[in-house]
A and B are shown apart, each in its own frame.
Chain A
Amino acid sequence: MIEVQNLTKRYGPVTAIRDVSFSVAPGQIVGFLGPNGAGKSTTMRILACFMPATSGSARVAGYDVFRESMEVRRRIGYLPENVPLYTDMRVAPYLEFVAEVKGVPRGQRKARVAEVMERCLIGDVQNRLIGKLSKGYRQRVGLAQAIVSDPHVLVLDEPTIGLDPRQIAEIRTLIRSLAGEHTVILSTHILPEVSMVCSGVVIINKGAIVAQGPIDRLVEEFFPTARLEVEIAGPRPAVHDAMRAIPGVVAVAERDGAGAPGRYVVESARGRDVRGEIFQLAAQQKWMLLELRQVGMTLEEVFMRIVAGEETAADGAAGVDVPEAAEADA
């Protein structure tokens, strides 16, 4: 539904994104991740036909965003980062305006607006001035204007930023409910959000894509081993060596130095569960097993590893464009 190929955008001497390629299948919700200034907004603005790329191509719903811009715009709903709305307009007339501009036929407009307001839980403020609404309501009005024409594709730039936890949960539920009939790409730097809402991720850092795919696969790719946290009271070197000797265990690391009960992190090949063996071992040796816990590898750790890894790599290479300024002023 969304295909991006070798997209590059330069603002004068500053390269905001470089050779970005990714694709999103129909009906999917994909999270677009990256630290601030990584080029998320730039990419989304290009997808939404707000500005053209310097080079490369992007297709949305089968149409080129530059050459067939009108066709793309008819099929896309866009929510920019800071949710720009006409503060002097009231909610319902505003949504009717958007519906009309987006070409919702006259006969269906009222019904469509009512439906969207109900879906975004803004029916109770429909006669209020947008400028007087709270941040949470504005965000939902922004989302409502994006989906009012029932577009195939939704491009949402940080849809939950600046909301309180309850509102975040509501927006997430709403976005999740859009999956299937809509293809959604949403940017964020809140990682748990992605695991909760999205089926796949695209991670961008310093203007370049550094990883993409389903979340589970990424986690496996970056953390090929499963981890256990073990606390055993027993002679340290002996415990260490005994655990290391269990088939399938790749590494055993000691935690927190010389404290009496030893804590260990045991890494084993993925799919190989060694908890039973560790228990058996402790029982045989009469060591006291105090804790045995699986450590789930999260997207957050993948992200930190990628971004931190990039950072160290970039520090080594001289003359790397830093695109931070670009996004801030654009």
Chain B
Amino acid sequence: MRIWPIYKKELRLYFTSPVAYIVLTMFLLIGGYFFYSIFAFFTRASMQIAMNPAGARDLNVTDGVLRPLFQNLSVILLLLMPLVTMRLFAEERRSGTIELLLTYPVRDGAVLLGKYLAALTLYALMIAFTLAYPAILVYFARVEGGPLLTGYLGLLLMGAMFLAVGVFASSLTENQIVAAIVTFGILLMFWVIGWTSEFAGQPLGAILAHLSLLEHNENFSKGVIDTRDVIYYLNFTALGLFFTLRSLEARRWSG
């Protein structure tokens, strides 16, 4: 499997075009703003509670800062991740380079993995930069290590899934905008799909709740690793990649 050259090429393309820089900048700008506002709110809350110690047992950094932070970061990711993946196959298709790429002695799977891993690398870099926030937090307060780690694990798994959906959407079209919109649409749908679970009745409600992206991210930010959540994200990722592979193959047959 010659994944490596494809991976290098894709990563190089991310950083020779403005895409990576813009996504990184926007992500960190908005992320930083959220972190500041959450932290400032938490600081004020702890001041108030200092006057009224009865409430202090409900106040901690994990619940007060990390959880809302991870949730807010997820929302930014929902908006930005489609832009990371939209180019991967759509642009190759539009410019026709896919015809050369898919006639080189590499399997479609290797092409896909190379591209996917390049996007994942960019994503890892994005969330690696956000480690600055907990670093600041550690300076001022005592932070529980466990929930921090699981929070990042959740973020990583969820991002992997976002990227898999995005790669799939990109393989469907030669228009990057279409790829981005389809990605965003699918992700948003799975984001909100759990909202109706309470009214849907059983067993439909339970199914909807299980499908929900949001529901599965909750546990991680609380510091809980539930295999159900891990499997949900991994399954979704695998399914996205599998569909992409099929879509590439289907395109071959239809020319």
A binding-site residues for B, Cβ under 8 Å = 9, 11, 42, 45, 48-52, 70, 73-74, 76, 78, 80, 82, 84-89, 93, 97-98, 100-103, 145, 326, 330
Residue picked from A73, A74, A86, most chain B C-beta under 10 Å: A86
Tell yes or no: B144 within 8 A of A by CB.
no
Distance in Å from the Cβ of B214 to the closest Cβ of chain A?
A: 36
Distance in Å from the Cβ of B19 to the closest Cβ of chain A?
A: 10
Taken together as a complex, chains A and B put the C-alpha atoms of A86 and B100 apart, in Å, by 10
- Our pick among A50, A85, A88 for the contact of B17 (Cβ within 8 Å) is A88
Taken together as a complex, chains A and B put the C-alpha atoms of A101 and B10 apart, in Å, by 13
Tell yes or no: B97 within 8 A of A by CB.
yes
Distance in Å from the Cβ of A32 to the closest Cβ of chain B?
A: 17
Taken together as a complex, chains A and B put the C-alpha atoms of A9 and B253 apart, in Å, by 10
| Known contacts A88-B13, A101-B2; A70/B105 CB under 8 A | yes
Closest to A16 in B: B255
> Across the interface, do B95 and A87 meet the contact criterion of CB distance under 8 Å?
yes
Within 106-120 of B, Cβ neighbours of A (below 8 Å) are at 106-107
> Across the interface, do B5 and A100 meet the contact criterion of CB distance under 8 Å?
yes
> Across the interface, do A80 and B9 meet the contact criterion of CB distance under 8 Å?
no
Distance in Å from the Cβ of B110 to the closest Cβ of chain A?
A: 9
Tell me which residues across on chain B come within 8 A of A51, comparing CB atoms. 252-253, 255
Chain B interface residue count, CB cutoff 8 Å, equals 26
> Across the interface, do A78 and B13 meet the contact criterion of CB distance under 8 Å?
no
5 of the cross-chain contacts (CB-CB < 8 Å) are A9-B255, A11-B254, A84-B97, A97-B9, A103-B105
Tell yes or no: B202 within 8 A of A by CB.
no
Distance in Å from the Cβ of B166 to the closest Cβ of chain A?
A: 20
Distance in Å from the Cβ of A124 to the closest Cβ of chain B?
A: 21
Distance in Å from the Cβ of B22 to the closest Cβ of chain A?
A: 15
> Across the interface, do B99 and A84 meet the contact criterion of CB distance under 8 Å?
yes
Closest to A49 in B: B103
Tell yes or no: B227 within 8 A of A by CB.
no
**Residues 5-18 of chain B, each 1 if its beta carbon lies under 8 Å from chain A, else 0:** 11011001100110
Residues of B contacting A: mostly: helix
> Across the interface, do A330 and B100 meet the contact criterion of CB distance under 8 Å?
no
> Across the interface, do B100 and A80 meet the contact criterion of CB distance under 8 Å?
yes
- Our pick among B6, B252, B255 for the contact of A42 (Cβ within 8 Å) is B255
Tell me which residues across on chain A come within 8 A of B12, comparing CB atoms. 89, 93
Tell me which residues across on chain B come within 8 A of A74, comparing CB atoms. 105
Closest 7 A-B residue pairs measured CB to CB? A84-B96, A330-B255, A100-B5, A73-B105, A84-B97, A48-B103, A74-B105
> Across the interface, do B106 and A101 meet the contact criterion of CB distance under 8 Å?
yes
Tell me which residues across on chain B come within 8 A of A42, comparing CB atoms. 255
Taken together as a complex, chains A and B put the C-alpha atoms of A239 and B252 apart, in Å, by 65
- Our pick among A48, A82, A89, A101 for the contact of B6 (Cβ within 8 Å) is A101
Closest to A46 in B: B255
Closest to B93 in A: A84
Tell yes or no: B102 within 8 A of A by CB.
yes
Tell yes or no: B140 within 8 A of A by CB.
no
> Across the interface, do B13 and A86 meet the contact criterion of CB distance under 8 Å?
yes
Tell me which residues across on chain A come within 8 A of B97, comparing CB atoms. 84-86
Taken together as a complex, chains A and B put the C-alpha atoms of A40 and B103 apart, in Å, by 17
Distance in Å from the Cβ of B106 to the closest Cβ of chain A?
A: 6
Tell me which residues across on chain B come within 8 A of A85, comparing CB atoms. 97, 100
Closest to A87 in B: B95
> Across the interface, do A98 and B104 meet the contact criterion of CB distance under 8 Å?
yes
Distance in Å from the Cβ of A79 to the closest Cβ of chain B?
A: 8
Closest to B252 in A: A51
Residue picked from A80, A101, A145, most chain B C-beta under 10 Å: A101
Taken together as a complex, chains A and B put the C-alpha atoms of A88 and B6 apart, in Å, by 15
Tell me which residues across on chain A come within 8 A of B255, comparing CB atoms. 9, 11, 42, 45, 51, 326, 330
